[in-house]
Amino acid sequence: MPTTVVIGAQWGDEGKGKVVDYLSQKMDFVVRVNGGPNAGHTVINEYGEFKLHLVPAGIFNSKTISIVGNGVAIDPKILLGEIDDLNKKGISCQNLKISDKAHLILPWHILLDELQEKERGANEIGTTKRGIGPVFSDKVGRFGLRAGDFINEKEFSEKLFFSFNQAKNLLGEKLSFSFDEILRKILSQKTYLLSYITQTEFILWEAIARKKNILLEGAQGTLLDVDFGTYPDVTSSTCVAAGASQGSGIPPKEINEVIGVVKAYTTRVGAGEQPFPTEMPKEISSALREKANEYGATTGRPRRCGWLDAFLLKYAAKINGFTSLAVTRLDSLSGFEKLKICFGYRTKEGKPISFEQLSTSRLKEVQPVYLEAPGWQEFPKDCKKLSDLPKEARKYLGKIKELVEVPVRLISLGPEREQMLRV
Ligand code: IMP
């Protein structure tokens, strides 16, 4: 498995942190490739429970080099806080590297995120308010500041001044701090960050030449991708597998495996109004939310819960080229008498929608078509192999493979690292 990509197959929160932590044990390099501190990758292992926003989930393996790739937007304050927190819990960040091309989230990006959400009114996206939209706008607008800009302090302060004035034009009085205040603060953060910053693509090219195991860790999920997701209710980075190459500097031809992480049901978080065809009735959704603790790792917001949408998963499989699936949270589905799986859509008038007609940005106009699968009671305590699972759970996994047309190779049965079956 020299170069493997791990991608969320739904609307994020699929359990990528756990899958990456599990796979990292055999990895020489783990690279975060997109997003920013909007992500919250939950990892539970022998060191405790962590919610990683920027540091790759490979950090727990002392032999692994962890890289924050060029596709990630960094909030220096959050990153430094995370490093500090890890150090306090005995985890060394000595092997952490940050791409010099990763963009910096500046204080006004967060204010602009808040302002833009307000201006959207009823059409608000429900962003995480971490400044993601504005920082990636600046990146493609070619106004952004990158981690590598820290190296030349004079140039850095000139670029920062330009960015500050632009933000001032948009924010007016809302930008209440002075340029000098901000400059001083950022330069003090620079002192701590500089030792991690380097041209990470060169490190990765050498790793490829030496046939090292590399894992590319995607954030968010396919349906939040800025191109192929449920636009405009998406994030501002490329969450699909193609972005892993762009966000790390690894050429596409070097990627060997693409693992799609699929939660055994579906969740969505946002402003609350975004289309979600397989959303469960309120009572069932609330019960599952409480049982599975479906609250945002970054914002604490309650997640909406729904049945598994295999029609959208098939789309995710095509766009990412999944070579296998990791199904997570199967344990959270225990206790249902019957489960539903969506395998197609109809129009509101009842006309079937073919796969070729599926549009991820027109989900408001569709009705899901379900098959019913028998549920199961709690799993036996110590499941070590597939045959230890109740036959209904095995059938459910079989249906996923059949409908998505990709084999299931990993099954997560609980939050701990060891609660994972490889099949
Ligand atoms: P932003 O990425 O903060 O701009 O938010 C855009 C949309 O993506 C919102 O609906 C967020 O709730 C959603 N989102 C962003 N990051 C994540 C994530 O890591 N998990 C789930 N949803 C996310």
The answer to whether the beta carbons of residues 16 and 219 sit under 8 Å apart is yes
List the chain domain ranges.
3-100+197-259, 104-193, 264-422
Q: Is 41 designated active site?
A: yes
CATH topology of domain 3-100+197-259: Adenylosuccinate Synthetase; Chain A, domain 1 (3.40.440)
Closest by Cα among 110, 69, 107 to 184? 107
> Which of 75, 124, 127 has the most ligand 1 atoms within 8 A of CB, as the residue to mutate?
127
Q: Is 382 designated active site?
A: no
> Which of 16, 33, 38, 231 has the most ligand 1 atoms within 8 A of CB, as the residue to mutate?
38
Q: How far is CA 26 from CA 45, 96, 183, 417, 422, in A?
A: 15, 17, 41, 13, 14
Question: In angstroms, rounded to a whole number, what is the distance separating the alpha carbons of residues 137 and 65?
Answer: 30
Query: Tens of pLDDT along 348-394?
Result: 999 999 999 999 999 999 999 999 999 999 898 889 999 999 999 99
224 lines ligand 1 (CB under 6 A): yes
Query: Tens of pLDDT along 280-315?
Result: 999 999 999 999 999 988 889 999 999 999 999 999
Domains 104-193 and 264-422 in one fold: no
* Cis, bond preceding 107 (omega within 30 deg of 0): no
Q: Considering the domain delimited by 104-193, tell me its CATH architecture.
A: Orthogonal Bundle (1.10)
b (16+ CB within 10 A) / e for 61-82: beebbbbbbbbbbbbbebbbeb
- Among protein residues, the one with the nearest Cα to ligand 1's atom 19 is 39
Note the CATH number of domain 264-422: 3.90.170.10
Of 268-272, 302-306, 324-328, least confident by mean pLDDT is 268-272
- Among protein residues, the one with the nearest Cα to ligand 1's atom 20 is 12
Q: What angle do CA 318, 230, 404 make, to 5 degrees?
A: 30
Q: Would you say residue 1 has pLDDT above 80?
A: no
57 lines ligand 1 (CB under 6 A): no
Catalytic residue among 28, 41, 113, 225: 41
Res. 271 pLDDT band, cuts 50 70 90: confident
What is the amino acid identity at position 100? D
201 lines ligand 1 (CB under 6 A): no
State the alpha helices, DSSP H only, in 104-152. 107-120, 132-141
On whether the pTM is more than 0.75, the answer is: yes
List beta partners, residue 96.
66
Kindly report the average pLDDT of the chain as a whole number. Answer: 96
Task: Locate 399 and state its tokens.
Answer: 């249906």
